[in-house]
Amino acid sequence: MSRRRILSLWFPRLAAERVLRLSRTGMAGLSGPLAVVADRNGAQVIVSLSQAAEAAGVAVGQPLRDATAMCPRLATVPADPAAEAAFLTRLRRWVGKFSPWVAEEPPAGLVVDLTGCAHLFGGEAALLAQVEADCEALGLSLRAAIADTPGAAWALSRHAGQGVAVHRSGDAIQQEAHATRSRAAKRRGWERGGTLPVTGADGAGAGPRGVIAPQGKMRQALGPLPVAALRLEPEVVEGLVRLGLRRVEDLAVLPRAALARRFGAGVLRRLDQALGLEPEPVTPAGAPLHFAARISLPEPIGLLADVEAAVERLLPVVCARLRRQGHGARRVRLQAFRCDGAVQVAEVGLARASDREDRIRPLLAMKLPDLEAGFGFDMIRLEAVAVERLAPVQHRSPSVSGGAPVPQDGGLDDLIGKLGVRLGTEAVTRFHPGESHVPEKAAQVLAAAWSQPFVGEWPRQGARRPMVLFRPEPLGAPEDDPTPPARFRWRRREMVTRFAVGPERIAPEWWLDDPDWRTGPRDYWRVETEGGERLWLFFAHGADVTGGWFCHGAE
């Protein structure tokens, strides 16, 4: 039985080299030193560098103003975490050719379980050489290591050959008084806990590019590495260094109980994981769900009936895959590939996720006439681009539900879907009651495709409300008289009051600062004019803003 072997890949310049790869395909002006900048605690800080920028003396974690002072030619781009994560995902798919068991270690690492796979490439050394050659062809810097555990491979890939940094805090054991040091034999810097000599032009590439640890000798391989190689928290590493515990071998010889009491059980757990005393699985990312089907045609087609026939063959295949996975389609895209290379696209959205052909077919049929066939289509592809997990719904009759309304079997959803195809999904809305006594907040406007119908009785208001509400419009009337005016001017029209009913006092929501309610409490009146208009007027008593008479609605 083969022993477990883990490959750790670290891309120290992933963010910068992703931008450099894009510069070769269209972006200009990025041939010199390059830095990727992100905001950290209100300041712009370097988070990734190209090799040329590191050779110029710029370092990761350095403020941007200091970096530009050191290297005036430094070009900067803002960090894009989403694009960098997507690039790492593409690298994970590429590494899948060496082993099917690949997991991501954000922001710039991959871990691969090579158990039983290395011999297919001529051994571990040959596999590692191929990985390095592929990364060089991709323009990526790489630090790689193979070990028995994920923790050991992680440590070797990032810290092998880097030495141990000296932290001059004044608390370390090695920083004793000068009189004590004068009696000791002279030792070289790295023998006193200093940094090992670094060979190479850049810090990220210093040390071996690929490290292969012998099987069963993790303690010997990890012993010279700094304690930061155990993936500990920065404050824990700082505390260990203050006590003079700089290397992994310094921790391995200490009593475990005392170490756990001082620094917590996490230190022992990371040490055991690196040495193989505690299992640490590699969990690969699952393959994304993919619901698509295509048909290649021996001869180009251009008639609407032929395209509909192709859809009739593809749609059952896609719906069957949705049903097997317990999902439903929310958006369906049809791509028609023409002979001249152009692609015609028809995309429809559903009000409810569905895996039924009779729910999707009518929506696609409304879009098919808009396709331009040109010289004909030679391939048709149908894909559910947005899916949701379907939950089973228990249907009850009105007699069982106590007379409550029972939703129809998708009739309203089909209507919303068809209206969405013509008008746009967001243009079809519905109302839900709002939890507020303010008139304009008494109802919420929601997208019909992304909300459920309101079930139950609509909450009753304390008084009658107009059919149409609009933003308050000022009236030409006395501003100091709270009684309804006998005559007023509204929308450049002179009106005479016939009768008025009210008032209804409505106060603003004191816990909110609503700009429309800074005129203070309102007294609402239902007013009918001699011309027949029925208006909803209110008198604002004034607060932060001067009050007066306004018109808020009409019947």
State mean pLDDT over 92-108.
Answer: 91
Is beta strand 210-212 parallel, antiparallel or unpaired with respect to 143-147? parallel
Q: What is the pTM of this model?
A: 0.60
User: Distances from the Cα of 524 to the Cαs of 78, 95, 539, 554, in angstroms?
Assistant: 54, 70, 7, 13
Question: What confidence score (pLDDT) does residue 190 get?
Answer: 36
Question: What confidence score (pLDDT) does residue 462 get?
Answer: 67
Is beta strand 6-10 parallel, antiparallel or unpaired with respect to 109-113? antiparallel
The 10s digit of each residue's pLDDT in 315-325 is 999 999 999 99
Q: What percent of the chain has a predicted confidence (pLDDT) above 70?
A: 86
Is beta strand 109-113 parallel, antiparallel or unpaired with respect to 534-540? unpaired
The 10s digit of each residue's pLDDT in 508-553 is 888 887 777 888 888 999 999 998 889 989 998 888 888 889 998 8
Q: Band of the pLDDT at 181, cuts 50, 70, 90?
A: very low
The 10s digit of each residue's pLDDT in 213-254 is 999 889 999 999 999 999 999 999 999 999 889 999 998 899
Question: What confidence score (pLDDT) does residue 36 get?
Answer: 93
Most confident of 21-30, 288-297, 438-447: 288-297
Reply yes or no on whether the pLDDT at 163 is more than 70: no
Q: Band of the pLDDT at 184, cuts 50, 70, 90?
A: very low
The 10s digit of each residue's pLDDT in 41-74 is 888 999 999 999 999 899 998 999 999 999 999 9
Most confident of 15-29, 121-135, 175-189: 121-135
**How many CA atoms are closer than 13 Å to the CA of 470, on its beta-carbon side?**
10
Q: Band of the pLDDT at 397, cuts 50, 70, 90?
A: low
> How far is the C-alpha of 453 from the C-alpha of 449, rounded, in Å?
10
Question: What confidence score (pLDDT) does residue 272 get?
Answer: 92
Reply yes or no on whether the pLDDT at 393 is more than 70: no
* 173, 128 Cβ separation under 8 angstroms: no
